[in-house]
């Protein structure tokens, strides 16, 4: 299936090493940068207050029968993830300086959460025990993506509650197809998840409201129109064709992205990622893109913000895919690739 596309992409990789029940239903609209910063500041202060309260209770050993510290920590972690998502979804109109400042504040909140977590759940002391090691039941937990998830700390909760959403999960060597209609752009059905996939081809036709992806290895992802956000947490050796209003990519390695996006794509902790313009085709795609307000090419696919690279010079972590290496059109209904 789409053999030429697969062979071309995998030849480039030769020689390289190979998630709150309060998910935002839609990005809120803000009248100005100031109104966004006011909302951000209120949320930040509230989270800091919660962390401070738990910290004082643990240090002073103050019992509180009305709260469970571990549960409170999980809720705070999810609140921080929601705040980070809020920044990503509104980064298209925020000045770059304000976006960086917000992300720095979020990083500080995560560090504070780590400190409080170490008080509530202290690390076990090292000891020699003859405990049998548990083998992973899912092969996609191997390699670099798994390693990064294991080191994620409280931030690994970012995708935890996405398990309640519809999606394709824990598949290998499969072609996965789903078509969305107008009714799917409202409610939970409009949100979809791709998780724990290896060597899979995914075809999502129609309009989605939000798309969440994590732990993808050597996959090919073809997506029609996303009316809200795309969030990626962990991908290696993958090929993406996506159209969305916002896209946030974290921990991606050696991946190609063909995008149509209303705001500047955001990458973080990525390397070897390349970008090109959207090139998907199927009957009715123009209508889907228009309904999602993605009918026009903005050129933002080439305006990538690397939040781990704050210098004035070009980030070494991403590049524009050379013209002679680009695929011009991918027709997911006829399984045809046009050079």
Report the pLDDT value the prediction gives residue 174, as an integer from 0 to 100.
94
DSSP bridge partners of 198: 172, 217
Determine what percent of the chain falls in helix, strand and coil, rounding each to the nearest 5. Answer: 35, 30, 35
Q: Got the DSSP string for 191-242? A: EEEEEEEES-EEEEEEEESEEEEEEEES-EEEEEEEEEEEEEEEEES-EEEE
How many CA atoms does the CB half-sphere of 185 hold within 13 Å?
13
φ/ψ region of 238 (left if φ > 0, alpha if ψ in -120 to 50, else beta) reads: beta
- Residue that is written with structure tokens 């974290």 in the block: 250
Report the chain's mean pLDDT, rounded to a whole number: 78
Separation of first and last alpha carbons in the chain: 16
> What is the rounded distance in angstroms from the CA atom of residue 244 to the CA atom of residue 294?
7
Q: Assess contact for 117 and 75: CB atoms under 8 A.
A: no
Report the pLDDT value the prediction gives residue 26, as an integer from 0 to 100.
39
Higher pLDDT: 181 or 259? It is: 259
pLDDT of 159 over the 70 cut: no
Q: Which two tokens stand for residue 50?
A: 């919660």
pLDDT of 6 over the 50 cut: yes
Please write the tens of the pLDDT for every residue from 249-261: 999 999 999 999 9
Higher pLDDT: 171 or 121? It is: 171
Higher pLDDT: 88 or 150? It is: 88
Report the pLDDT value the prediction gives residue 313, as an integer from 0 to 100.
74
Please write the tens of the pLDDT for every residue from 278-308: 999 999 999 999 999 999 898 999 989 888 7
Q: Got the DSSP string for 139-203? A: GGG-HHHHHHHHT-GGGGGGGGGGGGS-EEEEEES-EEEEE--GGGGSSGGGEEEEEEEES-EEE
pLDDT of 16 over the 70 cut: no
> What is the rounded distance in angstroms from the CA atom of residue 232 to the CA atom of residue 37?
25
Report the pLDDT value the prediction gives residue 83, as an integer from 0 to 100.
86
Segment 177-202 mean pLDDT? 80
Report the pLDDT value the prediction gives residue 129, as an integer from 0 to 100.
46
Segment 66-94 mean pLDDT? 80
User: Model pTM?
Assistant: 0.58
> What is the rounded distance in angstroms from the CA atom of residue 222 to the CA atom of residue 215?
16
pLDDT of 126 over the 50 cut: no
pLDDT of 173 over the 90 cut: yes
| Nearest CA among 48, 45, 41 for reference residue 116 | 48
Report the pLDDT value the prediction gives residue 231, as an integer from 0 to 100.
92
> What is the rounded distance in angstroms from the CA atom of residue 181 to the CA atom of residue 270?
33
In percent, how much of the chain has pLDDT > 90?
37
Confidence of residue 5 (pLDDT cuts 50, 70, 90): low
Which domains are seen in the chain, by residue range? 33-120 (1.20.58.1250), 159-338 (2.160.20.70)
Report the pLDDT value the prediction gives residue 93, as an integer from 0 to 100.
75
| Nearest CA among 124, 214, 216, 199 for reference residue 165 | 214
Which uninterrupted H or E stretch holds 112?
helix 96-120
Segment 13-20 mean pLDDT? 42
Q: Would strands 266-268 and 239-253 be described as parallel, antiparallel, or unpaired?
A: parallel
Number of H helices, E strands in the chain: 6, 15
Report the pLDDT value the prediction gives residue 160, as an integer from 0 to 100.
46
Q: Rounded to an integer, what is the distance from CA 44 to the centroid of its chain?
A: 21
Nearest-10 Cα torsion for 150, 226, 279, 287: 160
| Nearest CA among 116, 76, 98, 81 for reference residue 30 | 98
Confidence of residue 211 (pLDDT cuts 50, 70, 90): very high
Please write the tens of the pLDDT for every residue from 95-116: 777 887 888 888 888 888 888 8
Confidence of residue 15 (pLDDT cuts 50, 70, 90): very low
């Amino acid at each position: 299936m789409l053999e030429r596309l697969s062979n071309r992409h995998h030849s480039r990789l030769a020689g390289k090493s190979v998630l709150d029940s309060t998910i935002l239903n839609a990005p809120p609209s803000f009248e100005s940068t100031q109104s966004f910063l006011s909302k951000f500041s209120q949320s930040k202060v509230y989270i800091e207050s919660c962390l401070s309260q738990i910290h004082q209770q643990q240090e002073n050993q103050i019992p509180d029968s009305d709260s469970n510290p571990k549960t409170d920590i999980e809720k705070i972690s999810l609140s921080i993830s929601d705040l980070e998502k809020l920044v990503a979804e509104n980064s298209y109109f925020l000045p770059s300086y304000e976006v960086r400042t917000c992300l720095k504040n979020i990083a500080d909140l995560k560090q504070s959460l780590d400190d409080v977590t170490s008080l509530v759940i202290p690390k076990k002391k090292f000891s020699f025990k003859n405990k049998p090691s548990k083998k992973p039941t899912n092969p996609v937990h191997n390699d670099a993506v798994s390693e990064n998830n294991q080191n994620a700390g409280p931030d690994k909760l970012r995708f935890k509650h996405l398990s309640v959403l519809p999606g394709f999960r824990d598949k290998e060597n499969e072609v996965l197809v789903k078509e969305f209609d107008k009714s799917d752009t409202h409610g939970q059905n409009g949100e979809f998840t791709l998780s724990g996939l290896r060597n899979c081809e995914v075809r999502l036709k129609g309009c989605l409201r939000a798309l969440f992806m994590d732990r993808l290895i050597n996959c090919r992802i073809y997506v029609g129109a996303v009316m809200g956000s795309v969030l990626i947490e962990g991908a290696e050796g993958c090929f993406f064709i996506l159209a969305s209003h916002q896209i946030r990519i974290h921990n991606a390695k050696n991946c190609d992205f063909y995008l149509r996006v209303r705001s500047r794509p955001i990458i973080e902790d990525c390397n070897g990622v390349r970008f090109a313009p959207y090139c998907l085709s199927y009957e009715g795609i123009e209508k889907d893109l228009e309904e999602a307000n993605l009918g026009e090419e903005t050129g933002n696919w080439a305006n990538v913000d690397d939040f781990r690279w704050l210098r004035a010079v070009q980030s070494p972590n991403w590049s524009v895919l050379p013209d002679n290496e680009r695929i011009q059109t991918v027709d997911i209904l006829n399984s045809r690739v046009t050079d």
